[in-house]
Amino acid sequence: DPGAGVSDFGLDREGLRACYDRVRQTTEALCSPLEVEDYVIQSMPDASPAKWHLAHTSWFFETFVLSSWEGGLAPVDSRYGYLFNSYYNAVGERIARDRRGLLSRPTVAEVYRYRSAVDDRVREFLDRSADDELDRVRAAFILGLNHEQQHQELIVTDVKHGLAANPLKPSYRGEGGERAAAQPSDLASGPPRWVEFPGGVRPIGHDGGRFAFDNEGPRHEQLVPPFALADRPVTNREFLAFLEDGGYDRPQFWLSDGWYARSRNGWTGPLYWEREEGAWRSFTLDGLRPLGPDEPVCHVSFYEADAYARWAGARLATEAEWETAAVLSGAVVDGNFLESARFHPAAVPATTSPGSSKAPSQLFGDVWEWTQSPYTPYRGFKPAAGALGEYNGKFMCNQIILRGGSCASPRSHIRPTYRNFFPPESRWQFTGIRLAKDV
C-alpha cells in the first residue's frame, strides 16, 4: 500500500522513512507520463502547474519540518519560499496564485533536484535528529505526508484540466495506457434504492488517536434525524435525463446563485461533456471517450448537484447524515481510488452484492459527493497557533463539504470523517451526486 502509515503517529524512524519514501515516490510516479511542457501550464487560476505541486509539497517539508530542526538548515534555495508558499500569510509574501503558470524557471529538472535535495535532508533529519526534536515535529511530518497526498489528487485534476484545454485533446498516458474497469453490476442501470438510517444524537468527527486534519474535530454530538441515502451515486444516464428534460433551462430547480453561475459560465452540461453528432462524449485522462451511462456522473458543481436533486424530488445529504451512514453501515474505505490508476469513476462493480440494502455502495472512491452542508467549524474548533493554523480554518466560508474521496484520492488518505470542501461553483474535481431524503 503506497500510503500505508500516513495516519500513524506511532511509527518509528524506519517506518516514517519508508512511509515518506512511498508518498514521495507516488507523487513522482503520477508525473512520470508527463512531457516537460505539461508540467508548466496553468489552465485556470484554481489549478496549478504540476511542477508547482512537486515543489510546493517539498517546500512544505522544508518549512514545517526541517526549519524547526535545532541548529537549523538553510533552505535549499532561499528564493523558493516566494514561489512555492501557497497561502500561508504567517510564512511570508508569495507570488499571486494566478501567475504560477507564468514561471518557466525553476525548470522541471531543477524542481526534481529540489525535491531530491529536500528528500536528502528529510532522511538526514530522520537519521540524525534527537528524539525530542523528532517528536516536536512528528505531527507536522505526518501532516506533510497527508498534505502531499492531497496534492497528488490535485495533480490528477489539474493535469486533466490542462490537457482538456488543449484542442488536440491529448491523452495523459498515451494510447493503450487505459485501465479497464471492473465488470459493472446491475445496480447502476436500475433505479436507485434507498438505504434508511435511524435518527439520534450521534457522535460526529474524528476522535484523534490516528492522524486526521484539524477540521475533522473536535468530535462532538449532533442530533441527526432519521434519513435515507441512495444506494449508489447518480449515474450519467440519470443526469442525462435531467439534462434532456430541460434541466439546464428551468430556473425552478436551481439556487439563485447557481442559476447565475450557469448563465455566466454558459453551462449546458457537466464539465468535460461535449456533444458531437448526437453522441455525448466526455474528456478523460485517456482522451475523449463515449459517455459511460452507468458511471457516476462527475465534474458537476454543487449547484448542478443541488438542481439535479430537486428535479429528482430528493435532496443532498447533510455531512452529519453522510458520516452517520458511513459509520452505521460499516462501509470499508475501499474502491476505485488513485491506486487503481483508472483516474475515472466506474460503474458500481458486480462484486457489490445487489442483495445488500444495508449499505450504500461506492461511499468511498469514484466521486466526491456534494453534501448540502456549508463548510463551518465544528463546535469547539480552534485553529492551531502559527502558520499551520492557516491550513484549514481560514477557508471556512463560502465552501461546501464533500465526502468520500474520489478515483483520484489515495485510499489511505480517506476516512469516514474526512471533510473536503470546494466553492459551490467548482467543477474540475471529481465531484458527483448522491441523493438523500427525509424518512
Footprint on this chain of a copy of itself (rule: CB under 8 A): 35-43, 79, 82-83, 87, 89-90, 95, 99, 101-108, 162-163, 165-168, 170, 201, 220-223, 225, 251-252, 254-259, 302-303, 372-374, 376-377, 379-380, 389-390, 394-398, 424, 438
41 binds, among Fe ion, a copy of itself, none (CB under 5 to 8 A by kind): a copy of itself
Using rule CB under 5 A, residue 372 touches Fe ion: no
Nearest distance, CB of residue 167 and a copy of itself, angstroms: 6
Specify whether the CB–CB gap between 290 and 279 falls below 8 A: yes
Q: Which does 86 bind (CB under 5 to 8 A by kind): Fe ion, a copy of itself, none?
A: Fe ion
- Residue type (1 letter), 303: Y
- Give the chain's end-to-end CA distance (angstroms, integer): 39
φ, ψ for residue 250 (rounded to 5)? -120, 100
Nearer to a copy of itself, 183 or 256 (CB): 256
Least Å distance, CB 18 to a copy of itself, is 33
Q: What are phi and psi of 411, to 5 degrees?
A: -60, -40
Closest by alpha carbon to 165, among 302, 37, 338, 304?
A: 37
Distance CA(424)–CA(404), nearest Å, equals 17
Q: How far apart are CA 67 and CA 76, in angstroms?
A: 11
Kindly provide the b/e burial profile for residues 58-80, where b requires at least 16 CB atoms within 10 angstroms of the residue's own CB. bbbbbbbbbeebeeeeebbbeeb
Task: Please give the Cα distance from 325 to 319 (Å, whole number).
Answer: 10
> In angstroms, rounded to a whole number, what is the distance separating the alpha carbons of residues 303 and 47?
20
**Which of a copy of itself, Fe ion, none is residue 108 near (CB under 5 to 8 Å by kind)?**
a copy of itself
The binding track of 58-97 with respect to Fe ion, each residue x by CB under 5 A or -, is ----------------------------x-----------
40 binds, among Fe ion, a copy of itself, none (CB under 5 to 8 A by kind): a copy of itself
Closer to Fe ion by Cβ: residue 413 or 434 = 413
Q: List beta partners, residue 280.
A: 275
CB of 43 to a copy of itself, least distance (A): 5
Binders of Fe ion: how many residues, by CB under 5 A?
1
CB of 308 to a copy of itself, least distance (A): 15
Which of residues 91 and 126 has its CB atom nearest to Fe ion in the complex?
A: 91
**Nearest to a copy of itself of 95, 327 (CB atom):** 95
CA–CA gap between residue 365 and residue 347 (Å, rounded):
11
Q: Which is nearer to a copy of itself, 358 or 382 (CB)?
A: 382
* Joined grid coordinates for residue 338: 488513485
Residues that bind Fe ion (CB under 5 A): 86
